[in-house]
Amino acid sequence: MSRTFAGMLALALALSATGAAAQNRPPDEKEFVRQHLQNIVRVDPVRLTDPAVTSVFAVPLYRVMVEIGDPNGAARTSVMVGRQGDTLVVVSQPGEDQDRPDILKLLRPQFKLTGAAAAETVQNALDLVYPIIGSSADEKAKAFRHRGNDWIFVRGKFFDASMGFVLTTNAGGTITGVRYVLKLPT
């Protein structure tokens, strides 16, 4: 989590705290702060409508820009979120080896990963939802390949190894598993 986002999250939590100190304040003071917070904090959600994203992901995805005004300048950060029913979930950038069932839940079950064209669509969707962050070498490393039931999507370099996603499919091309791996198999 970025330092800026962590700071903004801490501010938001502090402003919405219902602890003992907040309970001692008159309710109208708390309401006053909530009503005027929009003058300081701006939240701008933008829905991802790219065809690659909407064909691969089943849930609406939004890049939310959060800006907190300050006399010394504004602090800005963005966060990717998805709407699952009545819940808004953070779509976090992977950073360690792990299975990602949270990502699997976001994918469209009807989408079939059966060939290069579908893999290119997935790669384009990943570019928008999980952009490559790093050097031009990371961008140059971007690729995909197919091995058995696994589709490997290289999203950059980790030291001398490639890192990225491994999407496992069944015989019909339905994605059945998502893993993030820092040292992908060659």
Which of 49-58, 92-101, 118-127 shows the lowest per-residue confidence on average (mean pLDDT)? 92-101
The total of other beta-carbon atoms located within 10 Å of residue 165's CB is 22
Average confidence score pLDDT of the chain: 85
| 43 against 123, higher pLDDT | 123
**For residue 6, is pLDDT > 60?**
no
What secondary structure does DSSP assign to 149-177, as a single string?
Answer: TEEEEEEEEETTEEEEEEEEE-TT-BEEE
Amino acid at 103: I
**pLDDT on residue 8:** 53
What percent of the chain has pLDDT above 70?
A: 87
**Cα–Cα distance measured from residue 62 to residue 83, given in angstroms and rounded to the nearest whole number:** 8
Amino acid at 50: D
Exposure of 139 by Cβ count < 10 A (0-12 exposed, 13-18 middle, 19+ buried)? middle
Give pLDDT tens digits for 15-61.
554 444 545 667 788 888 888 888 888 889 999 999 999 999 999 99
**For residue 114, is pLDDT > 90?**
yes
Which of 4-8, 29-33, 76-80, 142-146 shows the lowest per-residue confidence on average (mean pLDDT)? 4-8
**pLDDT on residue 40:** 84
**pLDDT on residue 104:** 95
Buried b (16+ CB within 10 A) or exposed e, 9-25: eeeeeeeeeeeeeeeee
φ, ψ (nearest 5 deg) of residue 107: -80, 150
| 13 against 100, higher pLDDT | 100
